[in-house]
A = this chain, B = another copy of it.
Amino acid sequence: MNISNEQFKQERLQAIISDRHSGAAELGRLALQALADYSQICDKSDTPGLLQDMLIFGEALKEARPSMATIVNLVDSWCEWLKNEHESDPDQFRAIALNTALDLLNQSADAINQIAHHVVDLIDEDSIVLTHSYSSTVMACFQALASKGVRAIVTESRPGDEGLRVAQKLVEYAISTEYITDAQLGLFVPLSHAILIGADSILADGSVVNKAGTKLIALAAKDAGIPLYVCTESFKRSQQNFDEVQLEEMDGSELGVPHLPHVTTRNIYFDITPPELITAWINEHGINHS
C-alpha cells in the first residue's frame, strides 16, 4: 500500500464527507474531479492495477454521501466508461480517464444551462419566486431570470444557513430578496408565485430528497395552490425507492444547543417530498409535469 495514494484519497473523501456548503450537483462534480486527479497521481504502473484502484476509490466516494445520487451517477458513468476502455498503455489510459471526467463535467454544466432556459420559459415576468437551501442549479435559474424582473423569497435553511449564501448570490444578480426564517414559510409560500428547488436525489417514483424543510414547503404550496418546480440534471435520478433511502444525519452540535440531560438534539439534513406534491420536474431534456 502506498501511503501517499491513500493519503490523497482520504483527504478528498473527508473533504466531501464534511462539506456542508456545496449542493448535490457541486458534490458530484467534486467527486468526479477527485477521481480525475487521482487518475493522474496514482502510482500503479500497469493499466489493470490502475483501473482497479480507481474503481475502489469510486466506490468509497459513492459511500461518502449516501443521500447524493449525483455522486453515484457521475462516478458510475465514469467507471463504466473506463471499464469498457481497451487502451493498455497506462499513460494513455490516464489521459483517457481525465478526458472522460472533463466530458462528464461539461455535460453537467450544459445540463444546468438547459434547465435555466426551461425555467425562464415557465416563470412569468415580475414573479415572486421562493427557494430553500442552496442549489447551484436553482442559482443558475435565478441568474437567467434576473432580466425578467423576478423577486425572491429565501429561507434561512437552518442549521447550515445556506440561505445567506443564496442571498449573497442574488445580490450579485441584483434580484430583490426577502430573507425569512424557515418557520415563516407558512406565511410566505402563499405570497409567492412559484417555488424553485433543487434536489439531492430524485427517487424512482419521482419523490424528491432535498434539504429538510422542503416537504413543509411542498405541503404549504399544495395548500395555497402555488406551483412547485424541482430543477435537477438527470444525473440526480436514483433507482432507489423512498423506503430504501438513508437520510444523512449530521452532528447535533451544529444546532448550538447546550447539553441538557434527557435531551437529544436531532439533525437530519434531508427530507423526502412525495411526487403528488410536485408540480413539475425540470431537467436538461425539458419539463415533466406530474
Q: Which residues of A contact B (CB under 8 A)?
A: 155-159, 164, 167-168, 170-171, 174-188, 211-216, 219-220, 223, 247, 252, 255, 257-258, 260-268, 271
Contact = CB atoms under 8 A, between A and B. Distances in A.
Contact of A215 (B164, B213, B220, B262): B220
Given A164-B258, A180-B265, A187-B247, 19 more contacts: A155-B183, A170-B263, A175-B262, A176-B262, A177-B260, A177-B264, A178-B264, A179-B264, A179-B265, A179-B266, A182-B213, A183-B211, A183-B213, A183-B216, A184-B213, A186-B213, A186-B271, A187-B268, A219-B220
A25 B72 CA distance: 53
Contact of A266 (B178, B261, B268): B178
B212 A183 contact: yes
Contacts of A181: 158-159, 182, 212, 255, 267
A51 B107 CA distance: 78
A121 B86 CA distance: 73
A87 to B, nearest CB: 48
Contacts of A214: 186
Contacts of A260: 167-168, 171, 177
A236 to B, nearest CB: 20
A183 B171 contact: no
A195 to B, nearest CB: 14
Contacts of A267: 181, 184
Nearest to A163: B257
A138 to B, nearest CB: 17
A75 to B, nearest CB: 28
A266 B182 contact: no
Contacts of A216: 183, 185-186, 216, 219-220
B168 A182 contact: no
Contacts of A261: 171
A184 B264 contact: no
A258 to B, nearest CB: 8
B179 A262 contact: no
Contacts of A178: 263-266
Contact of A219 (B182, B219, B255, B263): B219
Q: Which of A181, A215, A261, A265 has the most chain B CB within a 10 Å cutoff?
A: A181
